[in-house]
Amino acid sequence: MARIHRLLEEHGRQGALAFTDDRKELEVAFDFMSDEQTGVGFLFSGWCQAALPHRRQPDDQIWLIETEHLKLMVEPGSVATEDGVIRIGVPYGSRARLILLYLQTEAIKTNSREIELGRSLREWLQKLGVSIGGKSMKDVREQALRLSRCRMTFQITKGNQIGFVNQNILDTALFTHHVNGGLLETVKLSEGFFEQLKKHPVPLQEAAIRAIANNSQALDIYCWLAYRLHVLPADCQITWKALYAQFGRSYARLRKFRENFLESLKIALAVYPDAKVTTTEIGVILHSSKPPVPQKATHLVNPTTK
């Protein structure tokens, strides 16, 4: 348990303020620790190692992440309009991540590629504290459209073997029409992506996602730690250069990335009390830790896990 969690347990929310200057970290940790819901979400392990951009990219730009063991390429989709075919850009930000998480969670829980959305997605977003009106819902619709049109390629290297997942995330998508744009009502995950998801699901605490739902970088780091820490046989040092390659694609300079990464890491650790991570001048050291979701709880939601 990190210092911020001990402070909250010993002194409460108001009392802990006397011992820390980081109110944001404190509030996130408090929200997480006081959350009594026990929901579990699931994410394909590939998305825990490489993620979408944080901010909007040029609509015709391909998003590419390359690390030692994985490459992710996301190609923007197109739509036909009265003026011809136009690119709509790759998905980005926290809303795209939350939609992806919802789709994969429902697919695992129901063991089905076909997912009913509409009211279910709106209720789930509300449960995460995301407003479903005005600009926020417009953002959700836009990211849903981008996700339904984009094409992704995961290249995963294990020893001398290289594997590919190369297709659309969705096979089909049905939109309803609104004055302000359409909202996904039903979707069908592509068969290849669904099979990879069932083989490699990473369990996540919904309470953690809820507490950091508006922070895309903290979401990425939390998912990465949930994937890495509990399987480590020994301490593992990750350099800033390697972290920059994995998480810093949106930053022009390593120095700025490092500054923001450290802030986001604190937020991610605030919702993962059992995570053991040490920061150094060279980078970070990951230590073997308990998973955020106990295996027993995972099995109750997803009986296929072993």
Q: Which of 47-51, 125-129, 284-288 has the lowest mean pLDDT?
A: 125-129
> Burial level of 167, CB count in 10 A (0-12/13-18/19+)?
middle
* Greater model confidence, 190 or 225: 225
Q: Which two tokens stand for residue 162?
A: 């290289």
Look at residue 226 and tell me whether its pLDDT is greater than 70: yes
84-128 residue pLDDT tens: 999 999 999 999 999 899 999 999 999 999 887 767 777 878 877
Look at residue 144 in the predicted model and tell me its pLDDT: 83
Q: How confident is the model at residue 179 (pLDDT cuts 50, 70, 90)?
A: very low
Look at residue 180 and tell me whether its pLDDT is greater than 50: no
Q: Taking the CB of residue 256, how many other CB atoms lie within 10 A of it?
A: 12
Q: What is the DSSP string of 246-292?
A: HH-TT-S-HHHHHHHHHHHHHHHHHT-TT-EEEE-SSEEEEE----S
Look at residue 300 and tell me whether its pLDDT is greater than 80: no
60-79 residue pLDDT tens: 999 999 888 888 999 999 88
The closest of 162, 20, 150 to 74, measured between CA atoms, is: 150
Q: What is the DSSP string of the chain?
A: --HHHHHHHHHHHHHHGGG-S-HHHHHHHHHHHT-----EEEEEHHHHHS---SS---TTPPEEEE-SSEEEEEE-EEEEETTEEEEEE---HHHHHHHHHHHHHHHHHHT-SEEE-THHHHHHHHHTT---SHHHHHHHHHHHHHHHH-EEEEEEEETTEEEEEEEESEEEEEEE--TT--EEEEEEE-HHHHHHHHHSEEEEEHHHHHHTTT-HHHHHHHHHHHHHGGG-SS-EEEEHHHHHHHH-TT-S-HHHHHHHHHHHHHHHHHT-TT-EEEE-SSEEEEE----SS-HHHHHHH-TT--
Q: Which two tokens stand for residue 299?
A: 């099995």
* Greater model confidence, 25 or 145: 25
Residue 279, beta-bridge partner list: 284
Look at residue 220 and tell me whether its pLDDT is greater than 70: yes
Look at residue 108 in the predicted model and tell me its pLDDT: 96
Q: How confident is the model at residue 298 (pLDDT cuts 50, 70, 90)?
A: low
Q: How confident is the model at residue 173 (pLDDT cuts 50, 70, 90)?
A: low
Mean of the per-residue pLDDT values for the chain? 87
Look at residue 137 and tell me whether its pLDDT is greater than 80: no
